Copies of this chain bind each other. A is one copy, B any other.
Amino acid sequence: MKFQCPTAILSENISLAQKAVSIKSPFPVLTGILFTADETTNTITLASTDLQMSIETSFPAEVIESGSAVLSSKFLGDIIKKLPETNLMLEYLPAEGKCVIRYGSSELAVATYRPDEFPKNEEIIDGESFYISGEEFSTYIKQVLFATGTDESRPVFTGVLFEIVGQELRLVASDTHRLAFRKAFIKREDPGKNINVIIPSRTLHEAVRIFGMNEEILIRISEGQVEFRGNGVKLTSRLIEGQFPNYQQVIPTTFKSNLLINKKYFLDSLERAVLLPRDKDKTPVAKFYLEKERMIMTSQSESGSIREEIPISLDGEEFTVAFNTRYLIDVLRVLENEEIYLSLTGPLNPGVVKPVGDENYLCLVLPVRPS
């Protein structure tokens, strides 16, 4: 393998591929990036995988000799950012087990692994596919991703449910203390088959970073796998096995009280209250005393206490309820709307946050039992 390309292009593609490299792996070859050079198309493809998630990215280059090599990724990723902006020449020297990179009158060598040891990426041929704009994808995923759990013993809660019925996409995430739900409409060539899969939160986090600025993303879902494609980059990931619980039955449909609140005002108050975690378990808890035109928020810890008046417009009963302030902050931060509704069913039942003017999103939050 031998090719020539500008530092910036190579650097950008290595950064991309590094997102799926195994940092530690019993298989050293997985700590590398597979380079494949194709003379006939003058294309370089980089591939990386940690066996859960894989990335493939291609770019044009002046290929002098076709071939492939697996380059040790840590040093390569660090040094590429420090190389001068020039036309780099890469040459794989299999007999010496290294890949040489020449720049000006200087050169460096990167350790390599044998390319035949690198796992083959299985191509998804079947499966249901749809298109979504990068901007919508990024917004919607961020609106649910924060609600996923981290407990690996309950894997279905560490991902986001993608439920597709016809042209309707429903995203759901929950850590059992809160649940975020987003509905959206997508372009689907053949909307015949329904889809119900759970995509790992880490995959979605990377997908947003890689494709969030793209005009369009192609998402293809098949048995056990999901694939994202756009701008010459392909991200493949295993799905999470298991059945996501019936989320619809936990979302309340009738409420005792409906509060209309200015989002920024509410968020600013919560970001002060969160600094006073409860002494016994460090959970940041605030109490909310509902009145017709205002809500009194209080919170305290050994460091101090806070008491704020938040203007609201209340439709319904006046009572007192306590929430984990962190949970309310998380949902308010992903909403762009100026005003939100907080709908309550009583001091011990779930509250629901909805953006005003958007019927397709909600976040359910369980209250904290007042102590």
Q: Which residues of A contact B (CB under 8 A)?
A: 72, 74-76, 78-79, 82-84, 98, 104-111, 268-269, 271-272, 275-276, 301-309
Contacts and interface: CB of A to CB of B under 8 A. Distances in A.
B111 A271 contact: no
A251 to B, nearest CB: 32
Quickly give the copy total for this chain.
2
Contacts of A272: 79, 82-83, 108
Nearest to A106: B308
Contacts of A109: 304-306
A79 B275 contact: yes
A110 B275 CA distance: 12
Contact of A110 (B72, B271, B303): B303
16 contacts: A72-B304, A78-B275, A79-B272, A79-B304, A79-B306, A82-B271, A82-B272, A83-B272, A104-B309, A106-B269, A106-B306, A106-B308, A108-B304, A108-B306, A108-B307, A110-B303
A110 to B, nearest CB: 4
Contacts of A309: 104-106
Contact of A75 (B75, B304, B307): B304
Nearest to A78: B275
A99 to B, nearest CB: 9
Contacts of A104: 309
Contacts of A75: 275-276, 301, 303-304
